Amino acid sequence: MSGLVECVPNVSEGRRPDVVRGLADVVSAVPGIRLLDLTSDADHNRSVITFAGDAEAVESAALALVAAAYGAIDMRTHIGEHPRLGAVDVVPFVPLSGSTMEDCVAIAKRVGGAVAKAHDVPVYYYAKAATRPERVRLPDIRKPQYEGLQALMDTTHGPDDGPARVHPTAGAIVVGARPPLIAFNIELDTADVKLAKRIAKEIRESSGGLTAVQAMGFELTDPVRAQVSMNLLDHSVTSLATVWREVEARANAAGVKVLRGELIGLAPLDAMLDVARESLRLDGLVRTQIIEGHFIR
């Protein structure tokens, strides 16, 4: 396969910049890999590393990252706001130019099998690589978190690959294939995390809210603030502008202002064009009206 593949691993470390930078350097050292983005959050104690290249290079970089992270992160002492199952929490593969979802599913299965064999870590496959319906949604797999996973290994959370026991320091790992996802947070001008949790429940698809939206409410520190944290699984169905309006309307109804938005990692150009069309009412806006749009497909 000669097409491009993107990989967006989430690792359970966001408070030690030297460790996170070291993990990014491991990825960058793989020939044929381009490091696209590195984003860390101390409150979540989590980092997102985005890279791309041809399939073989991306597969090698993902395995190198996993090995390095397992040597640097100990889940027995990890504390953070974001749900997680392991030192490397989730490794999604995303098809770009010249590659297909089927290609990425195959990569996910190879990487998952290699991690299970090399590190004795339980592996779960999700999204397009899921082996059963209840494993499609990442939150369903991650619900027990690292601390509660072992108790469910013999019932709902038997792994798809690897041992049926949580690795003491590495935990477990979720590997999959999916379309581009936008991780987007909205910070509220309040410390009332109950409000953020209520708004998140109202807007997420699983509670009858916006289609293709996952959402949770968190408490941030320094200063203490409430945050609505979201994953937009398909921006063509529910746009960034739409979730902003829905969150802002609910916050304002409670007498709270929205402070700012935060993009975690990268977003497709088309998602940003959608924002311009909706927020600026540029109904006929097309890619070729953006300078960079003449240089990218």
> How do residues 256-266 score in pLDDT, each as one tens digit?
999 999 999 88
Q: Is residue 271 domain-shared with residue 254, that is, in the same domain?
A: yes
Q: Phi and psi for 149 in degrees, rounded to 5?
A: -65, -45
Q: Is residue 30 domain-shared with residue 145, that is, in the same domain?
A: yes
Q: Is residue 161 domain-shared with residue 231, that is, in the same domain?
A: no
Q: Is residue 126 domain-shared with residue 208, that is, in the same domain?
A: no
Q: Is residue 123 domain-shared with residue 191, that is, in the same domain?
A: no
Q: Is residue 198 domain-shared with residue 237, that is, in the same domain?
A: yes
Q: Whole-model pTM above 0.75? A: yes
pLDDT at residue 11 in the model: 98
Determine the Cα–Cα distance for residues 244 and 249; give it in Å rounded to an integer.
Answer: 8
Domain boundary (177, 194, 224) is at 177
Q: Is residue 79 domain-shared with residue 133, that is, in the same domain?
A: yes
Query: Mean pLDDT across the stretch 227-245?
Result: 95
The active-site residue, picked from 82, 119, 157, 167, is 82
Q: Residue 85 is part of a domain; what is its CATH number?
A: 3.30.990.10
Q: Is residue 234 domain-shared with residue 91, that is, in the same domain?
A: no
Is 82 among the catalytic positions?
A: yes
Domain boundary (177, 212, 245) is at 177
Q: Is residue 273 domain-shared with residue 170, that is, in the same domain?
A: no
Beta bridge partners of 127: 177
Q: Is residue 260 domain-shared with residue 274, that is, in the same domain?
A: yes
Determine the Cα–Cα distance for residues 202 and 214; give it in Å rounded to an integer.
Answer: 10
Q: Is residue 64 domain-shared with residue 210, that is, in the same domain?
A: no
Domain boundary (150, 177, 204) is at 177
Q: Is residue 107 domain-shared with residue 35, that is, in the same domain?
A: yes
Determine the Cα–Cα distance for residues 216 and 200; give it in Å rounded to an integer.
Answer: 5
Q: What pLDDT digit, counting tens, does each position of 32-83 carry?
A: 999 999 999 999 999 999 999 999 999 999 999 999 999 999 999 999 999 9
| SS3 of 45-83 | CEEEEEEEEEHHHHHHHHHHHHHHHHHHCCHHHCCCCCC
What is the residue range of 258's domain?
A: 182-294
Question: DSSP 3-state helix, strand, coil percentages of the chain (rounded to 5)?
Answer: 40, 25, 35
Determine the Cα–Cα distance for residues 41 and 275; give it in Å rounded to an integer.
Answer: 25
Domain count, the chain: 2
Q: Is the pLDDT of residue 295 over 90?
A: no
pLDDT at residue 102 in the model: 97
